[in-house]
Structure 1
Amino acid sequence: MRWTLKPKPELSKIKQLSEALQVEPTIASLLLQRGIETFEEAKQFFRPSLDELHDPFLMKDMDKAVERIEKAIAASENILVFGDYDVDGTTAVALMSSYLKTRIHSVATYIPDRYDEGYGVSIKGIDFAHDNDFSLIIALDCGIKAIDKVAYAKEKGIDFIICDHHRPGFELPDAVAILDPKREDCTYPYDELCGCGVGFKLVQALASRDGKSIEDLTEYLDLVATAIGADIVPITGENRTLAYFGLQVINGQPRAGIKAIIAQTKKTEFTITDVVFIIAPRINAAGRMKHGNHAVALLTEEDEELAQAYALQIEQFNTDRKEADQQITQEALLQIVEYEEQERFTSVVFQDSWHKGVIGIVASRLIETYYRPTLVFTKSGDRLAASARSVSGFDVYNALEACSVHIEQFGGHKYAAGLTLKEENYEAFKQAFEDEVSKTIDRALLIPEIRVDTQIDFKDITPKFYRILKQFAPFGPGNMAPVFMTENLQDTGYGKRVGGEDKHLRITARQGNSANIVGIGFNLGDKYDLITDKKPFKAVYSIDENHWQGQVSLQLKLRDIKA
């Protein structure tokens, strides 16, 4: 691991903010690193307000979208809410359809089949709309590149409104309205919304015309927070506000479907991390293993008993997903070992029998072992489909764009993308991708990096210090949990390997005459020799609470240890 200490803010700024907020300099330094320089900005950060959300009409085409939907409501047109099969798409469809059903009865939902139709707007979905007299399709978390599909719908007399957050291509579809803050001609103040977030802005705009305030829409924020966590978008600006209030809904009055998922766990309070690792995988499992419709049914169900039945079904999909991804990961790792004789900058693997629903998870797992841009391919109809994942700091979307001569279709983000290509182009693409990455990647990016906020001593770790740190949440990209480094540590002799195969490390450390602090390091069991015999070591960690038999104590969540 590379440990990179973030630059320390100017001492004069630390002193000024520390005095203005009456907090210790370390807290002021952490805030400055997050771009918070004034009392007013700190107040906004620690006490988010729904009033801070931007006017939805600042988004390009919002007025056109609202006008078209209001026309559909007035004329009792049939509206089809269409969305992708992942968490962002299914939560967006649940949100939009739930809201529209408070205004008009003739609303239906459509999630494409991952295996039969693939990603995004589909011909089959448009044909379904035409056959059932839908005159308006609202596409969520997809559609920004669906030029041919939108043209096909237009021929059939169907209008399209697109709510997307992916990067547009050179040409935009001929839709009635395209809401995407990443459009070059869109001046909306925040361009990191997820697909469900863009959908929420449309609901906010519609509701405002109907005399409703933002407070009237908080019931939808459990869906928005779930999508923000699952889609790994930055938790800054508007996303942080939406996530903050969405977590309050999840922990207070979640919809029946999310409540049913929570009931299957032993947790009493959910953080964004819990949303990412507990709620999101279950919602995702429906689209991965069966069909995204199951997720929408769960998220829109109002009857608690029915929601519990749906959640049980989805729990089984999640169990099946775990088994599939473990098996495929092992098979993929064997493939990589076979071609490791020469230095490589990418991992590209393929087997036609791999389950398409889990290849994205497998790509992420492979990066845990071989830290480099990774693609996992499987057979999908008469094409090969792949999920791409990247390492921190490297834009895999740009790398795919450079190889587009070999690709039929691709889309996504800097760190995650999907693509399809003809099987005969696989080897040529694989080589082109390797060549492009080897040419453009900074070699340092191939070593995992831990970015350390600041160096502290154990005496700085007090209950008051931790209480303020907790208020930095919700954490995520752009606002990660603070990571600290402390030197000259010694284990008191109680350090040991724990867990299956001794994979984890538990230490009881002290620094000089400080009080002892317990630390737990997952997958750090191989570092045990560094702490034995009271050898001095340094550690990077975040600070956590340990709840044990009714007692609460502070502990270190170890990220790495060095001599």
Structure 2
Amino acid sequence: MRWTLKPEPNPETVAKLAAELNVDALIAKLLVQRGIATFDEARKFFRPSLEDLHDPYLMKDMDKAVERVEKAIANKENILVFGDYDVDGTTAVSLMSSYLRSFYPNVATYIPDRYTEGYGVSYQGIDFADDNGFSLIIALDCGVKSIDHVAYAKAKNIDFIICDHHRPGDKLPDAVAVLDPKRDDCSYPYDELCGCGVGFKLIQALAQNRNQTTNDLIPYLDLVATAIAADIVPITGENRVLAKFGLEVINTNPRPGIKALIQNLKRQTLTITDVVFVIAPRINAAGRIKHGNYAVELLTEFDLEQASAFASQIETFNADRRAFDKEITEQALQQIIENKEQDRYTTVVYQEDWHKGVIGIVASRLTETYYRPTLVFTKSGDKLAASARSVKDFDVYNALEACAEHLEQFGGHMYAAGMTLKEENYEKFKDAFERVVSETIHPDMLTPEITIDAEVHLSEITPKFFRILKQFEPFGPQNMTPIFLTGVLTDTGYAKRIGANEEHLKLYVKQSDSDSFSAIGFGLGDKIELVTRKQSFAAAFSVEENEWNGTVSLQLRLRDIKND
């Protein structure tokens, strides 16, 4: 692990903010690092309000979108709500369809099949709309590059409203409205919304038009928070407001589908992390293993008994997904070892019978293991398909672009991408990808990095400090859980390896005359030699609460340790 301390913020700014807020300098420093430098910015950060949400009509084409939806309702047209098969897409479809159905019946949903139709707007979906008398399609989490598809629909007298958050190409589709805050000509104040977030802005505008308030839309925020968490968008600005209030809905009065997914959890309060690791994978499993329609059925069902039946189905899909994930990861790791490829700059593996729905997860697992730009291939029809994952600061999309002569098609972004190629080009592509990465990647990028917010003394970690730190939640990109560095630590003599395979490290640490703290390091069991015999060591850690036998205490969650 590389340990990298964040740059020190301006000390005068920190001191001024600490005085204005009446907090210690460490809290003020953490705020300034997050771009919060004034009392008013801190107030909005610590006390998010639905009133902080921007006027939806600031988004380019919003007036056209609302006008077209209202016209469809007035003329009793059939509306088809179309979205991608991942969490962002299925939550967005569930949000839009359930809102529209609350006052208008002629609304249906469509999720493309991952395997027969692929990502985004599909000709098959447009044909379905044409065959069944739909004259308006609202596309969510996709569509901003679907120029040919929208033209195809227009020739069939089907209009499109697009709600997307991906970066547009040079030309926009000829839709009635293209809602996308990343449009160059859109001056909307916040451009990091997820697809479901853009959908929420449309229902917010429709609600205003119908004399409803934002408070009337709170029941839909469990879906928006789930999408924000799953799509790994920044938890800043408007996303932070939507995530915070959405989490409150999840924890107090979630829709029956989400309630059914979480009813067996032992946790009292779910965090964004729980949404990422508990709710999102289950919703995703539907599209990966069977069909995204199962997720939409679950999320739009208002009878708890029926929702529980849907949730039970999805649990089965998720169990299958985990089994495929485990089996394929083990096979891929074995392939790397057998081919002696551990020392390459890239990880590229292929087996024709690997399940296409989980190769992206497997690519992430291999990236965690070897920390290299990674591609996992499987057979898809008469071609090979792959998912790519990258390491911090390395643009895998650019690397694929440099190998484009060997590819049939590819798409994605800096850290994740997908592609297809002809089987006879696999080895040529593999060699080209290795060469491009080896020539362009900085050696430091091949070592995982821990970004540390501040160096602290253990005496600074008090219950009051932790109470304020809790108010930094919800955590996520650009507002990550703070990581601290403390040196000259010693174990009090109770260090031990724990877990079924003794892979974790449990100890009690002290620093000079500080109180001792319980500390847990998951996956750090093999570092026990660094802390025995009263050796001095340094630790990178976050702070969390630990409950044991009814007693709650602060605990250090170790991210890494090393010799002082």
TM-score (norm 2): 0.97
Distance, in Å, in 1 between the alignment partners of 2:561 and 2:149 is 53
Q: Match of 1:153? A: 153
Q: Match of 2:44? A: 44
What is the identity, as a one-letter code, of the residue corresponding to 1:502?
E
Alignment of 1:170-209 (within 5 A): 170-209=170-209
The offset of 1:343, in angstroms, is 4.5
Residues 93-129 of structure 1, C-alpha deviations (whole Å, 9 max, x = no match): 0001001112321100011111121111112111111
What is the identity, as a one-letter code, of the residue corresponding to 2:138?
I
For structure 1, which segment, 148-157 or 351-360, has the greater mean C-alpha deviation from structure 2 after superposition?
Answer: 148-157
Identity rate, percent? 69
Alignment of 1:191-230 (within 5 A): 191-230=191-230
Correspondence 1:115 to 2:121: no
The offset of 1:265, in angstroms, is 1.5
Q: Is the 8 A contact 1:359 1:387 kept in 2?
A: yes
Alignment of 1:374-453 (within 5 A): 374-453=374-453
Q: Match of 2:269? A: 269
Distance, in Å, in 2 between the alignment partners of 1:148 and 1:56 is 28
Distance, in Å, in 1 between the alignment partners of 2:142 and 2:216 is 27
Q: Is the 8 A contact 1:378 1:386 kept in 2?
A: yes
Q: Match of 1:310? A: 310
The offset of 1:183, in angstroms, is 2.0
Q: Match of 1:522? A: 522
Residues 478-506 of structure 1, C-alpha deviations (whole Å, 9 max, x = no match): 00000000000000110100002111000
Distance, in Å, in 2 between the alignment partners of 1:178 and 1:373 is 34
For structure 1, which segment, 55-64 or 354-363, has the greater mean C-alpha deviation from structure 2 after superposition?
Answer: 55-64
Q: Match of 2:458? A: 458
Q: Secondary structure at the match of 2:162?
A: strand
What is the identity, as a one-letter code, of the residue corresponding to 1:120?
G
Residues 449-489 of structure 1, C-alpha deviations (whole Å, 9 max, x = no match): 00000000111110000000000000011000000000000
Distance, in Å, in 1 between the alignment partners of 2:362 and 2:350 is 12
Q: Is the 8 A contact 2:76 2:106 kept in 1?
A: yes
Residues 212-254 of structure 1, C-alpha deviations (whole Å, 9 max, x = no match): 1211111111000000111111111111111011101101111
Q: Match of 2:124? A: 124
What is the identity, as a one-letter code, of the residue corresponding to 2:8?
K
The offset of 1:189, in angstroms, is 1.6
Alignment of 1:268-307 (within 5 A): 268-307=268-307
The offset of 1:203, in angstroms, is 1.0
What is the identity, as a one-letter code, of the residue corresponding to 2:390?
S
Q: Is the 8 A contact 1:166 1:411 kept in 2?
A: no
Distance, in Å, in 2 between the alignment partners of 1:48 and 1:201 is 18
Q: Is the 8 A contact 1:490 1:536 kept in 2?
A: yes
What is the identity, as a one-letter code, of the residue corresponding to 2:269?
E
Q: Match of 1:28? A: 28
Q: Secondary structure at the match of 1:533?
A: coil
Q: Secondary structure at the match of 1:174?
A: coil
Correspondence 1:546 to 2:546: yes
Distance, in Å, in 1 between the alignment partners of 2:269 and 2:411 is 35
Q: Is the 8 A contact 1:167 1:413 kept in 2?
A: no
Residues 505-529 of structure 1, C-alpha deviations (whole Å, 9 max, x = no match): 0011111121110110100011110
What is the identity, as a one-letter code, of the residue corresponding to 1:501?
N
Q: Is the 8 A contact 1:389 1:417 kept in 2?
A: yes
Q: Match of 1:557? A: 557
Distance verdict in 2 for CA 1:158–1:391, change over 3 Å:
same
In structure 1, stretches of 5+ residues that fail to align are none
Q: Is the 8 A contact 2:519 2:557 kept in 1?
A: yes
For structure 1, which segment, 258-267 or 426-435, has the greater mean C-alpha deviation from structure 2 after superposition?
Answer: 426-435
Count of aligned residue pairs for this structure pair? 563
The offset of 1:409, in angstroms, is 3.4
Correspondence 1:87 to 2:87: yes
Q: Match of 2:72? A: 72
Q: Secondary structure at the match of 2:310?
A: helix
In structure 2, stretches of 5+ residues that fail to align are none
Distance verdict in 2 for CA 1:271–1:5, change over 3 Å:
same
Question: RMSD of the TM alignment (CA)?
Answer: 1.4
Distance, in Å, in 1 between the alignment partners of 2:412 and 2:196 is 15
Q: Secondary structure at the match of 1:353?
A: coil
The offset of 1:184, in angstroms, is 2.2
For structure 1, which segment, 540-549 or 121-130, has the greater mean C-alpha deviation from structure 2 after superposition?
Answer: 121-130
For structure 1, which segment, 341-350 or 458-467, has the greater mean C-alpha deviation from structure 2 after superposition?
Answer: 341-350
The offset of 1:192, in angstroms, is 1.1
Residues 363-419 of structure 1, C-alpha deviations (whole Å, 9 max, x = no match): 110011110211112122223222121111222233333333433333333222222
Q: Match of 2:319? A: 319
Q: Is the 8 A contact 2:336 2:342 kept in 1?
A: no
Distance, in Å, in 2 between the alignment partners of 1:518 and 1:41 is 35
The offset of 1:345, in angstroms, is 2.1
The offset of 1:150, in angstroms, is 1.7
Q: Match of 1:534? A: 534
Q: Is the 8 A contact 2:341 2:347 kept in 1?
A: no
The offset of 1:341, in angstroms, is 5.0
Q: Match of 2:247? A: 247
Distance, in Å, in 2 between the alignment partners of 1:341 and 1:331 is 14
Q: Secondary structure at the match of 1:534?
A: coil
Q: Is the 8 A contact 2:363 2:388 kept in 1?
A: yes
